[in-house]
Amino acid sequence: MISERAVALVKKFEGCKLKAYLCPAQIPTIGFGHTHGVKLGDRCTQEQADKWLLSDLNATERTINEFVTVKITQNQRDALASFIYNVGPGAFKNSTLARKLNNGDYTGAAAEFAKWTKAGGRTLPGLISRRAAERALFESKIT
């Protein structure tokens, strides 16, 4: 199960906007990075944004359960949740990060986070910070 740590990490890096906007990858987005069925001009309440976040994280949890075949810690699960929430399940499933992780190469998987810092063809400082935080959580001991 994804913990409050993952929820907090996603909230920190996604931020919350109650009016739809184009993210750096030019995808209509609303709330805490919600994209499904969003059109520019859409608006939502804070309550709806919170519901979408939890629903989207539940979908992320299903992706982890389906495609991660090795034992992972809660911190690794939470780091992966934030990563998948941001890049999408398809990108994760086909990633070198997932392949290395499922081959038991936890160190190699951790190093892959830093390679995912571009959106719309540009390296973004926010993604550099996010991937560093995800990697740090992935590599951290459970406290």
Q: How far, in Å, CA of 31 to CA of 68, rounded?
A: 28
Q: Are 53 and 10 in contact (CB under 8 A)?
A: yes
Concerning whether 23 is annotated as a catalytic residue, the answer is yes
Find residue 119's DSSP bridge partners: 122
- Amino acid at position 35, single letter: T
As a whole number of Å, the CA-based R_g of the chain is 15
Concerning whether 139 is annotated as a catalytic residue, the answer is no
Q: Are 114 and 123 in contact (CB under 8 A)?
A: no
Which residue among the candidates 4, 16, 23, 112 is catalytic per the annotation? 23
Q: How far, in Å, CA of 20 to CA of 60, rounded?
A: 22
Q: Are 49 and 68 in contact (CB under 8 A)?
A: no
Which residue among the candidates 14, 44, 112, 134 is catalytic per the annotation? 14
Kindly list the catalytic residues: 14, 23
